[in-house]
Chain A
Amino acid sequence: MSHRELIRDAFASKTPLNIQGGGSKGFLQPAPVPAKTLHTTDLTGILDYQPEELFVRARAGTRLQEIEKLLRQKQQMLPFDPPRFSPAATLGGSIASGLSGPSRPWWGAARDFVLGCVLINGRGERLRFGGEVIKNVAGYDVSRLQCGAWGTLGLLEEISIKTLPAPEEEITLELELDESDALEKIREWNRQPLPLCGAVWHQGLLRIRLSGNAAAVAQGRLRIGGERSGNTGFWEQLKEHRLDFFHSAKPLWRISLPRDCPAMKLPGEILVDWGGAQRWLLSDSSMEVLSQIAANAGGHASPFHPNRPVPLDPGLMRLHQRLKNAFDPAGILNPGRLFP
């Protein structure tokens, strides 16, 4: 049976479905309600890749690694640098989770690079939105809406993504600074035309990644100073959460903040990512406490471990439920994932 038929049947019988790709990001979501698992791992294959047109189109169950490898052969990349967390990670899972790597503040997020998709909604209808072209304003942007929707609006069958040329040069600079000075420096550099694509502070060390045109990187290096680091694997380890920091028994939290948010006291050990706009926190504190701290600073806190979904304001929540209902009227797709 095709995925469309399976979903159509589930819609008719109101059977909850748990959509699963490579299973690499399952740990991020609350334990799903008992449901039949619908695997996407057989939806594989790169359908079209045209480097000159700057796009790749693939079935959702295609492994991210495979796509990244193909792009590398043509000196291109997925600019949002999605974390895999396992070799099994799929393109569909990356878009459904909407996660982006350390370059996000400067190069953009997963949602910024989605051009189109084929989606099977909760009625089992196969729908095509967007396309392969960069500019397309016909109809509502349903494709980007799937980013971070965790499959609650439909099963992604095919996705088109904008690709970009890989940078000519990449270097990492290290500067010894305390948190407050490091964030101050980042704020200053953010306002200048520098080829920044990573800024991380942890335990007194600020690491800056510059990448792009060689001349621009060389000039940026002069401006920023510090020592050039030979630890080229750092950014991959950070993205994949393989740094020692992440090997902790304490629950991991992600605090998303405005880019100008200064050093702040958080109840636990922190690693500052995205130049301050994303702070990783190891803490036993409750969601209520952390949400309050983040909200006071203009951001939000979300668990990066199995936990309940982040609560939304009542007005927004109503709108979310109506939107969910517009795609999945029987409520069968990934119940419990995004809503309590």
Chain B
Amino acid sequence: MSLTPELGSALKDILPDDGLILEPEMLRAYECDGLTAKRGLPLAVALPRTGKQVQAVVRLCHEHRLPIVPRGAGTGLSGGAQPLSNGLVLSLARMQRILEINPDNLSARVQPGVRNLAVSDAARAHGLYYAPDPSSQIACTIGGNVAENSGGVHCLKYGLTVHNILQLQLVTAEGELLEIGSNALDSPGYDLLALLTGSEGLLGIITEVTVKLLPIPPAARVMLAAFDSVEQAGQAVGAIIAAGIVPAGLEMMDNRSLRAAEDFVHAGYPVDAAAILLCEMDGTQTEVHEQLERVERILLRYGCSSMRASDSEEERTRIWAGRKAAFPAVGRISPDYYCMDGTIPRHRLPEVLSRIEAMSGKYSLNVANVFHAGDGNLHPLILYDASKPGELARAEKFGGEILALCVEVGGTITGEHGVGSEKIDQMCVQFHSMELQQFHAIKKAFDETALFNPGKAIPTLHRCAELGAMHVHNGELPFPDLERF
């Protein structure tokens, strides 16, 4: 399939110079996002520089029923920006101007292609920063963060993207420009800001975002604590929260992931520990000191075998470096890995981990666990070798079983990576058909002709019905037509 010459030249008129990519070799750069297993070439890639150009492109595509896949930096892990062979990729990456930093309103108005970290960098001169810090923050864009409702290691205390934005400028499927939210703390009508955040590019194109800024805490220290069992570490997490402490970050790594990280970045992790906790406190010097003492007492009570608190900013950075490099570190010990993203109620952790261990035996595949322990978001990394026959299929089945387990214990199939094209089938596990129908009705209210990212995030009832039939038959979830990694 290709663009008609008329449509191609109409797009060129809107996007002069290098604003439109049509050459197959250049389209290649857009064939996938962070979910690299799912690839495909779009008909074209549009690279607008202004909101007006976005509007014009959307109007044209609407008129010609040409599907649009919006894209930020392409760091998403669920295939949300995976191109459609009959559609256009609309990249917002060139809209990368910080339009205004307003320290008195604690806000920054930015274009969608601005990188997450660039906002904090620009705000630093005012003693402010943007709190959500997904691990891809060097590269990922604010527009993409809004589309995915991105979190980060500090979201237990500071919230997700939805808690940290004030206003959006949205181009609707008809090409109309709407202001959603305001510079004030609330606006009349429905909370469309909440509905649009995390809508994975299905409801509109974001052309501007006003984010909230926070004062930079004067002090931050991280405690590194080792445990002889994952259960003890899990109980310590619950005890810290129950004591009325809300750490800025609270992370857990099991032995396999902490060893991989230690070998990779030499963060000083105790490689014999069954699990480590990283517990960060921030605030004033005295406050941090006091809180760390309390955390120390709790950790000891729960059988922590050794602990160390960072004494300098360098040490803090080094301790975090291990955690932040956990995924690539695991990538060094296995030819391939498949990253899962379920959330569970925290107190079910020991049970969930032991059942994952049992599955690991059943599928003969190792797994490394990295856990945003404070908010229950679990990232099991399934290790496999795609060059060995059958391993990929086993990894997929293993992954599907983990996500079904997350739902079974009262959690969810995705904590922060989104559904995209990757978890579309697991949506059938999490939701009933009436709920999915409600989602489709919402989509229709915004985008009647399914212009934006069709086929992503919300499965059709037909697809779920087929899966359901097979589900009953096999007693487990198959994903026959999903290729991954």
Could you tell me the distance between the alpha carbons of A98 and B188 in the complex, rounded to whole angstroms?
11
B residues in contact with A105, CB < 8 Å: 185
A residues in contact with B216, CB < 8 Å: 193
Chain A contact residues, CB within 8 Å of chain B: 50-54, 75-76, 98, 104-105, 108-109, 111-112, 121, 125-129, 131-142, 144-145, 147-149, 153, 164-166, 168, 187, 190-194, 212-213, 215-216, 219, 256-260, 274, 277-278, 298-300, 302, 309-310, 312-313, 315-316, 319-320, 322-323, 325-327, 338
Take A326-B442, A327-B441 as given contacts and tell me if A144 and B162 are in contact as well, using a CB distance cutoff of 8 Å.
yes
B residues in contact with A302, CB < 8 Å: 188
Does B431 reach chain A (CB closer than 8 Å)? yes
Contact in complex: A299, B218 (CB < 8 Å): no
Contact in complex: B185, A52 (CB < 8 Å): no
Could you tell me the distance between the alpha carbons of A278 and B184 in the complex, rounded to whole angstroms?
9
Question: What are 17 A-to-B residue pairs whose CB atoms are below 8 Å?
Answer: A112-B162, A127-B434, A133-B345, A135-B375, A135-B412, A137-B148, A137-B412, A137-B416, A138-B412, A142-B442, A145-B191, A165-B246, A191-B127, A192-B127, A193-B217, A300-B188, A322-B444
Could you tell me the distance between the alpha carbons of A140 and B162 in the complex, rounded to whole angstroms?
12
Q: Which residue in chain A gives the minimum CB-CB distance to B177?
A: A315
Could you tell me the distance between the alpha carbons of A153 and B128 in the complex, rounded to whole angstroms?
38
A residues in contact with B246, CB < 8 Å: 164-165
Task: Please give the distance in Å from B474's CB to the nearest CB on chain A.
Answer: 23
Does B186 reach chain A (CB closer than 8 Å)? yes
B residues in contact with A52, CB < 8 Å: 238-239, 241-242, 346-347
B residues in contact with A148, CB < 8 Å: 186, 189-191
Does B300 reach chain A (CB closer than 8 Å)? no
Could you tell me the distance between the alpha carbons of A6 and B442 in the complex, rounded to whole angstroms?
24
Q: Which residue in chain A gives the minimum CB-CB distance to B283?
A: A216
Interface residues of B in 333-348 (CB under 8 A from A): 343-347
Q: Which residue in chain B gives the minimum CB-CB distance to A135?
A: B415
Task: Please give the distance in Å from B133's CB to the nearest CB on chain A.
Answer: 14
Does B257 reach chain A (CB closer than 8 Å)? no
Does B435 reach chain A (CB closer than 8 Å)? yes
Known: A134-B155, A215-B284. 7 other contacts (CB 8 A): A137-B412, A140-B199, A191-B106, A216-B286, A259-B104, A259-B185, A319-B445
Contact in complex: A256, B186 (CB < 8 Å): yes
A residues in contact with B172, CB < 8 Å: 315, 319
Take A133-B344, A139-B439, A320-B189 as given contacts and tell me if A326 and B416 are in contact as well, using a CB distance cutoff of 8 Å.
no
Take A111-B194, A319-B192 as given contacts and tell me if A138 and B106 are in contact as well, using a CB distance cutoff of 8 Å.
no
Most A Cβ at <10 Å: residue of B186, B246, B347, B457: B186
Does B377 reach chain A (CB closer than 8 Å)? yes
Task: Please give the distance in Å from A201's CB to the nearest CB on chain B.
Answer: 16
A residues in contact with B190, CB < 8 Å: 145, 148-149, 153, 320, 323, 338
Could you tell me the distance between the alpha carbons of A27 and B155 in the complex, rounded to whole angstroms?
37
B residues in contact with A134, CB < 8 Å: 155-156, 343, 375-376
Could you tell me the distance between the alpha carbons of A141 and B364 in the complex, rounded to whole angstroms?
37
Partner of A133, one of B177, B217, B241, B376: B376
Contact in complex: B287, A215 (CB < 8 Å): yes
Take A191-B215, A298-B184 as given contacts and tell me if A132 and B414 are in contact as well, using a CB distance cutoff of 8 Å.
no
Partner of A98, one of B179, B191, B372, B458: B191
Task: Please give the distance in Å from B88's CB to the nearest CB on chain A.
Answer: 23
Partner of B185, one of A53, A165, A278: A278
Does B151 reach chain A (CB closer than 8 Å)? yes
Contact in complex: A132, B431 (CB < 8 Å): no
Contact in complex: B184, A141 (CB < 8 Å): no
Most A Cβ at <10 Å: residue of B149, B375, B445, B446: B445
Partner of A165, one of B127, B163, B245, B446: B245
Interface residues of B in 261-299 (CB under 8 A from A): 283-284, 286-287, 290-291
Partner of B159, one of A112, A136, A187: A112
Take A131-B411, A145-B194, A327-B438 as given contacts and tell me if A316 and B127 are in contact as well, using a CB distance cutoff of 8 Å.
no
Could you tell me the distance between the alpha carbons of A219 and B289 in the complex, rounded to whole angstroms?
14
A residues in contact with B441, CB < 8 Å: 326-327
Q: Which residue in chain A gives the minimum CB-CB distance to B149?
A: A137
Contact in complex: B185, A104 (CB < 8 Å): yes
Contact in complex: A299, B244 (CB < 8 Å): no
B residues in contact with A212, CB < 8 Å: 287
Partner of B102, one of A129, A166, A256, A260: A260
Could you tell me the distance between the alpha carbons of A123 and B141 in the complex, rounded to whole angstroms?
39
Does B65 reach chain A (CB closer than 8 Å)? no
Partner of A138, one of B215, B413, B445: B413
Q: Which residue in chain B gives the minimum CB-CB distance to A123?
A: B434
Partner of B106, one of A190, A216, A310: A190
A residues in contact with B160, CB < 8 Å: 135
Most A Cβ at <10 Å: residue of B177, B184, B286, B410: B184
Q: Which residue in chain A gives the minimum CB-CB distance to B163?
A: A112
Partner of A298, one of B182, B283, B418: B182
Take A193-B216, A310-B188, A315-B178 as given contacts and tell me if A75 and B244 are in contact as well, using a CB distance cutoff of 8 Å.
yes
